[in-house]
Amino acid sequence: MADPDGRATKYVFVTGGVVSALGKGISAASLGRLLKQRGLHVTLQKLDPYINVDPGTMSPFQHGEVYVTDDGAETDLDLGHYERFIDESLSQANNITTGRIYQDVIAKERRGDYLGATVQVIPHITDEIKRRIRLLAPGHDVVITEIGGTVGDIESLPFLEAIRQFRQEMGRANVIFIHLTLIPYIAAAGELKTKPTQHSVRELMEIGIQPDILICRTEHPLDENLKRKIALFTNVPREAVIEARDVETIYEVPLELHRQRLDDVVLELLEIDAPPADLIDWTDIVTRVKAPTSGRVRIAVVGKYTDLVDSYKSVQEALIHGGIANDVAVEIDWLSSEDFAGSAREPLQPYDGLLIPGGFGERGIEGMLEAVRWARENDLPFFGICLGLQCAVIEFARNVCGLPEAHSYEFAPDSPDPVICMMDSQQNITTKGGTMRLGRYPCRLREDSRSRQIYDVAEVSERHRHRYEVNNAYREILEEHGLAMSGLSPGELLVEMIEFYDHPWFVGCQFHPELKSRPTRPHPLFASFIGAAVERASGDTVSDEAKETGAALGAGD
Ligand code: GLN
């Protein structure tokens, strides 16, 4: 396998030890960015040891956000970090779980592909894992594969065995291992402790993997002596012991790792010659996040999974990107929609914008409706994403169109006015996994709409993950009362975007724009939403321009 210039593809495996949640995904993604800045074609892959075929069926509380790729794969949230850091569109091939590997191997066994063999973890499962890694080689100089979980987990063993074999087969100059570990500070002893790292590396070595590089997460600087000690005990060269101290923003991690020469060490080990990294633009992004020059805005996100912000990871990042575009700090408060029912007035007063993100199930819906109502009536910039759009439509139908019992079929199948309903193609589906409208679909923007102005193109492609849609039978009454259907599918069958004209900024989309926002390319809707919040914060009421755009969208036109 080779990259476009005919060079052999090289592989970097990233494992983690000591504890989970050390930021392996961000470290892997940061290395990806550094290598990309050195002119290499890079891709990233996550191997997840759980048995679910994909995370699509898991509760957001269990797993955080389900990240959706263009090809409609429901993937681990680390793929979001990968895409945001390397700014490449990834696919199903970039996230593989144990469940998917077994599903394939068992299907092959049923077809008789193994010709009478006893099917076993070694070699059949490990061969399938290696095949899935190699699949990413075409077109890439370097494939970075992160192994989920921590070393020592029973579930991770087949993956670790597979990558051990992989290095054996491909050779030292083609495959390296990076191990991410924690150097905890023990306050009682006033010391940083290296023992957990020594143990975790020993555990890796027992299964035949000698890490080439250690990335040590720490709250305090590691002095030279400590680095030498870690190197000595773990058999890793001193210059390959990299300190990764906590930083203010995740976007600083590539800069920090570069300062520690991580990219040089990786390229030396892989025997790749590449120009130095150009990090000027990336440094500018970090400066804008850490020290924006145009003040700050406060955004309320009203949703149902607010106890675990990871459930809305991409929304959080896209709001930060909106801040980058406007050179402002974005302060986000995660408010539980359940606290809103009946009392939305006061809680939203201090904010410059309201965002209602995606979600499933009835819990907290009435609170979301109250929040939308307040934003609509009080000129608070409102951005509704997927469930957020659906709530805006329900609220508008109830309180503006005079349909007090309007609801979504998802929450009230008996509602006389199901303004949100199920697509025909979804009617007879009984299984849950992978059965929603998923992935990339085109959306045509209405000529005179604000959405069209914001995107500045006539047609966009955005990613979806939902079952329900705006009910076409209610389009006319909604439009007559001033809720514009500003984005439609090319056949005009599906409503993709709505906006309320008589308002400074009131936009909803059935898709998830947060999935396509990058720090290097903030999504236009997020940039514009934060822009509207900046106007609100600066005390400007509805801008003349917004009024004009609104007038052009007048009722029933
Ligand atoms: N539950 C809604 C649906 O399935 C919204 C989904 C979402 O917000 N992603 O249509």
Whole-number Å distance between alpha carbons of 204 and 352: 50
| Percent of the chain with pLDDT strictly greater than 90 | 83
Rg (CA), the chain: 25
Whole-number Å distance between alpha carbons of 555 and 154: 62
Q: Which residues contact 328 (CB under 8 A, 6 or more apart)?
A: 292, 294, 295, 296, 297, 530, 534
pLDDT in tens, 138-154: 999 999 999 999 998 99
Could you give the C-alpha distances from 102 to 121, 150, 431, 475, in angstroms and in order? 9, 20, 20, 46
Residue 495 tokens, joined: 């409503």
SS3 of 304, please? coil
Of these residues, 83, 128, 514, 535, which one is catalytic?
514
Report the nearest atom of ligand 1 relative to the CA of 387.
8
β-strand partners of 97: 48
Which is more confidently placed, 430 or 557? 430
Q: Is the pLDDT of residue 38 over 70?
A: yes
- Establish whether residue 364 lines the binding site of ligand 1, counting it when its CB lies within 6 angstroms of any ligand atom: no
Ligand 1 probe mutation, 314, 390, 515, most atoms within 8 A of CB? 390
Q: What value does the mean pLDDT take over residues 65-74?
A: 96
pLDDT in tens, 154-181: 999 999 999 999 999 999 999 999 999 9
Q: Is the pLDDT of residue 240 over 60?
A: yes
426 pLDDT tier (thresholds 50, 70, 90): low
Q: Known catalytic residue: 386?
A: yes
CA of 239 to the centre of ligand 1 (A): 49
Q: Which residues contact 238 (CB under 8 A, 6 or more apart)?
A: 227, 228, 231
55 pLDDT tier (thresholds 50, 70, 90): confident
In the predicted model, what is the mean pLDDT of the chain? 92
Q: Is the pLDDT of residue 485 over 60?
A: yes
430 pLDDT tier (thresholds 50, 70, 90): low
DSSP string, 156-208: GHHHHHHHHHHHHHH-TTTEEEEEEEE--EETTTTEE--HHHHHHHHHHHHTT
∠ Cα 551 555 556 (to 5°): 130
| Percent of the chain with pLDDT strictly greater than 70 | 93
Residue 292: the pLDDT is 96
Residue 4: the pLDDT is 52
Q: What value does the mean pLDDT take over residues 181-202?
A: 93
Residue 553: the pLDDT is 42
Residue 60: the pLDDT is 78
Q: Is the pLDDT of residue 214 over 80?
A: yes
Q: Is the pLDDT of residue 550 over 60?
A: no
SS3 of 424, please? helix
Ligand 1 probe mutation, 314, 363, 427, 465, most atoms within 8 A of CB? 465
Q: Is the pLDDT of residue 551 over 60?
A: no
Q: Known catalytic residue: 83?
A: no
Residue 18: the pLDDT is 79
Whole-number Å distance between alpha carbons of 278 and 39: 9
Q: Known catalytic residue: 512?
A: yes
pLDDT in tens, 379-418: 999 999 999 999 999 999 999 999 999 999 999 999 999 9
Three-state SS for 84-126 is: HHHCCCCCHHHEEEHHHHHHHHHHHHHHCCCCCCCCCHHHHHH
Instruction: Kindly report the protein residue whose alpha carbon is nearest to atom 9 of ligand 1.
Output: 358
